[in-house]
Chain A
Amino acid sequence: EPEVTQTPSHQVTQMGQEVILRCVPISNHLYFYWYRQILGQKVEFLVSFYNNEISEKSEIFDDQFSVERPDGSNFTLKIRSTKLEDSAMYFCASKSRTDASQPQHFGDGTRLSIL
């Protein structure tokens, strides 16, 4: 069964450094998402992306965050200058169609640790 893959599984970065989290969505999917989950807390929506544009972003997704689909297969989340509070699990998700009946398919996440 096709799946969403995320790399790396664990990223350790010094505060203030830039980090790029990578995702390969399911190949025929067109809608892409990033979520994050701080340890012990809820999964939180960050951003949705379609047709090379952000369709919605949450309050968490400030100017330090950006997303990109640099080619036909990858979807990336960049944090320009990391802060301690960015430490979390980051999940990428994708879906094939926009209608509300379609489920999102998630990767297993990247654990980001900021030192």
Chain B
Amino acid sequence: DAKTTQPNSMESNEEEPVHLPCNHSTISGTDYIHWYRQLPSQGPEYVIHGLTSNVNNRMASLAIAEDRKSSTLILHRATLRDAAVYYCILSFPFSGGYNKLIFGAGTRLAVHP
């Protein structure tokens, strides 16, 4: 399984942008990059995904490096509610289990008022 590497923790101040990095140097051409987050006492929540191009949605933006070996999740203005563990996960076609998700430890984001 292709693996991802994320910092264990990051901190931000409220209303400031946050850039959460992820390295996936062994990514293959058909792997999608997914981001999920897990707020305290809740289940994982889908945030965004992409393949090659940068993506935006109402929650965040995803910037994908040209060689696809890294990506960055961008929260444009952090709020206290964004304090969570953020997971960068590769989802590849033809994987067993209908694209089961393999979670790492993720990045724990703390947001300060």
Contacts and interface: CB of A to CB of B under 8 A. Distances in A.
Contacts of A101: 32, 49, 51, 91
A50 B32 contact: no
A55 B105 CA distance: 25
B42 A108 contact: yes
Interface residues of B, number: 29
B38 interface: yes
| Chain B interface helix/strand/loop/mixed | loop
B21 to A, nearest CB: 19
A104 interface: yes
B53 interface: no
Nearest to B30: A100
How many chain A residues sit at the interface, stated as a range, is 20 to 34
A106 B99 contact: no
Interface string A40-60: 001111011010000110000
Given A99-B93, A101-B32, A55 B102 contact: no
A45 B102 contact: yes
Contacts of B31: 100
B25 to A, nearest CB: 19
Contacts of A33: 97-98, 100-101
B45 A106 contact: yes
Contacts of B34: 103
B46 A43 contact: no
Contacts of A43: 38, 44, 87, 101, 103
A45 B101 CA distance: 7
B44 A100 contact: no
Contacts of B41: 108
Contacts of A98: 98-99
Contacts of A99: 93, 99
Nearest to A105: B46
